C-alpha cells in the first residue's frame, strides 16, 4: 500500500491528509492555523505546513500542495521574501486594478489576453501596487510566485530559478493565458514596469522534484482547482465552496473570457478550464454575526432555522470586507429593514440568507457563461452549518448535494500526488462516498422568493452609493 500526502494551505489554516493512493482512503490528517490578516509572511505558512504535516509527510511517497490563489510572494536575488505576501483578499490594489484596466485596453482586452478582468485580488494588481508604493522593495524584487509555488519550492529545497507552478494557479495572476498556455509578458511589464523571473508551468501530472527525504513532489495547484480534482467534477456539476471566500465553479472544456469580470476564466488541474466566481465574504460573515450574537455554531444555526424565510424583513448585503464580485472593493456590509420587532433569530437568518444570496448571484453569472448547474455541491468550512444546509436549496432555487464532510482541497492535492506517482494519463478515480441530497421544494422556493427579491433590491440600490464604488 503506498501513501500520498495532500496539503491545503488556505487562508485560515493548513490541512494535511495522508491518503492511500489506490483507493483515496484517508489514513491520517493534521491541521495548523495561520495568522489573521490580509498579508502574511510566507514563513508562517511553512511553519504551519511542518506542524500540520508532522508524522504524515515523511510517510508519503508523493506530496502536492494546493494553496490559496493569487497571493504575491516577491523574492530578492537571494530568494529572500521581500515583504509579507499580499493575499487574495487584500483590496489595497483596487486603484491599480482600475488604472491598468483603463490604460491597457479595457476589460475585454484583459479578459481576451488572460481570462481575467482585473480586480484587487489578482497578482498583477498587487505587483503594480508594490511598484507604486514600495519602490525600495520593488527594486529588490527579481522573482514573483504564488503561495503554493513558494511552498512547493520549500518542500523541494531548491532555488527560485527551479521553482514551478501549475496552469490553475498561473491563471489567477493576470499575466498568463489559459487559452494559449503561455505567460503574457507584456501584461506583467504593464503591471510591474519590468520583467520578473516566473516559475515554470508544469504539466498537471508531472513529478517536479523530490523532497530531501525522497518523496516525489507533484506541481500542486490553486485551492479551488484542488477541490474540483478532489471531488472529480463531471459535466453539470457546480461547486459552492464556503470558506473565507465564497467560490462557485465548474469544470469546462473551453476557456472563459467574461468581459463583465463576474466570472474568472481560470484553468483547472487536469488540463481543462475552471470558470469561477469568487466573493470576498462567506464563512466569516457567519462568524461575525455569531460573535455579535455571542453564540457558538450550533446555537447560531438553531436561531437562523427558527426564523421565517425573509428574516422578518431584515436583509443583509454581506460585503463586510469590501467585495470582489461585484467589484466593490471599498464597500461595507449593509443591514436593511431593521425595526423594533427584529429578533436575534432574524439577525442570524439574515446573515445566512445574505451570504447565500451572494453565492446565488455567482450561480447566475456562471449560467450566463453557459455553465448551468444540474447539481450544486456544497463544500468548505461553512458547509458544516445546519442552517446553511437547510436554507441553501431555497435561496439557490435548485437541489443541493453535500458530499461527506472532508477537506476536498487537500484530497485533490493528494489525488494529484497519486496521479504523478502512477505515471497514468488520467487521475485516479476515487470514490468520495454518497452525497446527502437537500431538496429545494417548490413550496420552499415560493416562501424564499421574498428573501431573494429583498436581497436583489438592496444589492442594486447600493450600487450607486459613493461608498460602494
Ligand X SMILES: Nc1ncnc2c1ncn2[C@@H]1O[C@H](COP(=O)(O)OP(=O)(O)O)[C@@H](O)[C@H]1O
| Residue positions forming the annotated binding site for substrate | 69-70
Which of ligand 5SP, ligand X, none does 363 bind, CB closer than 5 to 8 A by kind? none
Please answer whether residues 263 and 277 qualify as being in contact, where contact means their C-beta atoms are separated by less than 8 angstroms: yes
Q: Does 11 interact with ligand 5SP (rule: CB under 6 A)?
A: yes
Query: Min. distance of Cβ 147 from ligand X in angstroms?
Result: 12
Among 21, 96, 101, 121, binds ligand 5SP (CB under 6 A): 121
Report residue 223 as a C-alpha cell.
Answer: 485551492
Q: Does 408 interact with ligand 5SP (rule: CB under 6 A)?
A: no
Residue nearest ligand X by beta-carbon distance: 381
Which of ligand X, ligand 5SP, none does 382 bind, CB closer than 5 to 8 A by kind? ligand X
Which residues from 164-203 bind ligand X, rule CB under 6 A? none
- Whether 223 is a known active-site residue: answer yes
Q: Does 244 interact with ligand X (rule: CB under 6 A)?
A: yes
Residues belonging to the binding site are: 69-70
Q: Does 68 interact with ligand 5SP (rule: CB under 6 A)?
A: yes
Contacting residues for 400 by C-beta, under 8 A, at least 6 apart: 240, 375, 376, 377, 378, 389, 392, 393, 437, 438, 440
Stretch that binds ligand X, among 181-189, 255-263, 374-382, 438-446 (CB under 6 A): 374-382
Q: Does 156 interact with ligand 5SP (rule: CB under 6 A)?
A: no
Query: Min. distance of Cβ 36 from ligand X in angstroms?
Result: 11
Query: Min. distance of Cβ 67 from ligand 5SP in angstroms?
Result: 8
Among 14, 21, 38, 69, binds ligand 5SP (CB under 6 A): 69
Stretch that binds ligand X, among 5-13, 302-310, 354-362, 438-446 (CB under 6 A): 5-13
Q: Does 325 interact with ligand 5SP (rule: CB under 6 A)?
A: no
User: Of 113, 169, 223, 268, which residue is the catalytic one?
Assistant: 223
Query: Min. distance of Cβ 215 from ligand 5SP in angstroms?
Result: 25
Stretch that binds ligand 5SP, among 63-71, 231-239, 369-377, 439-447 (CB under 6 A): 63-71
Among 149, 206, 223, 407, binds ligand 5SP (CB under 6 A): 223
Which of ligand X, ligand 5SP, none does 69 bind, CB closer than 5 to 8 A by kind? ligand 5SP
Which of ligand X, ligand 5SP, none does 278 bind, CB closer than 5 to 8 A by kind? ligand 5SP
**Where in the sequence numbering do the catalytic residues fall?**
223
Q: Which residues bind ligand X (CB under 6 A)?
A: 10-13, 243-244, 283-284, 286-287, 297, 380-382, 384-385
Q: Which residues bind ligand 5SP (CB under 6 A)?
A: 10-11, 68-70, 88, 121, 172, 223-224, 243-245, 247, 264, 278
Amino acid at each position: 500500500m503506498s501513501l500520498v500526502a495532500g496539503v491545503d494551505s488556505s487562508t485560515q489554516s493548513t490541512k494535511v491528509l495522508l491518503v492511500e493512493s489506490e483507493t483515496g482512503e484517508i489514513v491520517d490528517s493534521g491541521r495548523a492555523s495561520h495568522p489573521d490578516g490580509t498579508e502574511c509572511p510566507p514563513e508562517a505558512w511553512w511553519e504551519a505546513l511542518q506542524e500540520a504535516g508532522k508524522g504524515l509527510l515523511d510517510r508519503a511517497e508523493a506530496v502536492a500542495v494546493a494553496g490559496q490563489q493569487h497571493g504575491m510572494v516577491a523574492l530578492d536575488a537571494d530568494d529572500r521574501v521581500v515583504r509579507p505576501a499580499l493575499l487574495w483578499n487584500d483590496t489595497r490594489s483596487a486603484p491599480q486594478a482600475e488604472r491598468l484596466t483603463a490604460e491597457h485596453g479595457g476589460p475585454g482586452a484583459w479578459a481576451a489576453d488572460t481570462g481575467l478582468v482585473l480586480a484587487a485580488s489578482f497578482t498583477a494588481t498587487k505587483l503594480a501596487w508594490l511598484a507604486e508604493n514600495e519602490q525600495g522593495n520593488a527594486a529588490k524584487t527579481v522573482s514573483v510566485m504564488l503561495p503554493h509555488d513558494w511552498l512547493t519550492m520549500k518542500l523541494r529545497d531548491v532555488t527560485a530559478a527551479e521553482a514551478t507552478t501549475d496552469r490553475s494557479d498561473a491563471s489567477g495572476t493576470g499575466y498568463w493565458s489559459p487559452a494559449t498556455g503561455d505567460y503574457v509578458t507584456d501584461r506583467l511589464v504593464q503591471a510591474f514596469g519590468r520583467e520578473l523571473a516566473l516559475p515554470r508551468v508544469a504539466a498537471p501530472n508531472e513529478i517536479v522534484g523530490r523532497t530531501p527525504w525522497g518523496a516525489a513532489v507533484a506541481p500542486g495547484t490553486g485551492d479551488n482547482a484542488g477541490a474540483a480534482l478532489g471531488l472529480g467534477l463531471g459535466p453539470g456539476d457546480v461547486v459552492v465552496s464556503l470558506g473565507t471566500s465564497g467560490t462557485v465553479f465548474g469544470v469546462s472544456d473551453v476557456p472563459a473570457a467574461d468581459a463583465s469580470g463576474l466570472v474568472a476564466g481560470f484553468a483547472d488541474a487536469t488540463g481543462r478550464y475552471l470558470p469561477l466566481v469568487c466573493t470576498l465574504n462567506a464563512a466569516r460573515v457567519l462568524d461575525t454575526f455569531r460573535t455579535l450574537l455571542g453564540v457558538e455554531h450550533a446555537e447560531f444555526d438553531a436561531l437562523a432555522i427558527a426564523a421565517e424565510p425573509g428574516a422578518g424583513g431584515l436583509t443583509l448585503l454581506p460585503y463586510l470586507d469590501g467585495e470582489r464580485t461585484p467589484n466593490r472593493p471599498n464597500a461595507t456590509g449593509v443591514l436593511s429593514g431593521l425595526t423594533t420587532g427584529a429578533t436575534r433569530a432574524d439577525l442570524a437568518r439574515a446573515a445566512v440568507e445574505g451570504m447565500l444570496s451572494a453565492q446565488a448571484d455567482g450561480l447566475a453569472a456562471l449560467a450566463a457563461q453557459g455553465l448551468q448547474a444540474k447539481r450544486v455541491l456544497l463544500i468548505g468550512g461553512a458547509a458544516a452549518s445546519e442552517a446553511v444546509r437547510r436554507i441553501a436549496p431555497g435561496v439557490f432555487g435548485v437541489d443541493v448535494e453535500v458530499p461527506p464532510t472532508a477537506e476536498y482541497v487537500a484530497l485533490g492535492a493528494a489525488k494529484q500526488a497519486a496521479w504523478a506517482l502512477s505515471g497514468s494519463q488520467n487521475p485516479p478515480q476515487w470514490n468520495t462516498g454518497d452525497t446527502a441530497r437537500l431538496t429545494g421544494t417548490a413550496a420552499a422556493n415560493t416562501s424564499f422568493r421574498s428573501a431573494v427579491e429583498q436581497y436583489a433590491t438592496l444589492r442594486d440600490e447600493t450600487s450607486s452609493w459613493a461608498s460602494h464604488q
